[in-house]
Amino acid sequence: MEKLLTSREVAEILGISPTTAKIWASKRKFPVVKVGRLVRIAPEALDEWVRENTDQAITPAQKRCSRGPKEPKTGSFEGLLNELCPGRPKGGQ
């Protein structure tokens, strides 16, 4: 087991003020371990918390997928099938 971190050490790791780290720990913004009346943070729990709270950049492909179903470019059923299945044989063969 790794050494448990103090709120001051967590503040240094996250680049926040020690006061903010203490407030976040008291509000359970990240997982804490109580050792008597002391509050400590497990390094692996902090790593996971950072991963879960990291805002991932949205790729253009994700933006396209989040817009809902794509409207067909043509009005015919055959055109829709060709658009959805570009490698399929023509004429339903």
Instruction: For the full predicted model, state whether its pTM sits above 0.85.
Output: no
Asked if 43 and 31 count as a contact pair (C-beta separation under 8 A), the reply is no
Q: How many CB atoms lie within 10 A of CB 57?
A: 5
Closest CA to 46 of 31, 24, 64, 28: 31
Residues comprising the chain, all counted? 93
**What residue spans define the domains of the chain?**
7-52
pLDDT tens-digit series, residues 34-59? 999 999 999 999 999 998 888 776 66
Closest CA to 86 of 75, 78, 32: 78
Q: Which residues of the chain have pLDDT under 50?
A: none
The label of the residue with tokens 């103090």 reads 6
pLDDT at residue 41 in the model: 94
pLDDT at residue 84 in the model: 73
Asked if 46 and 30 count as a contact pair (C-beta separation under 8 A), the reply is yes
Distance of CA 69 to the CA centre of its chain: 24
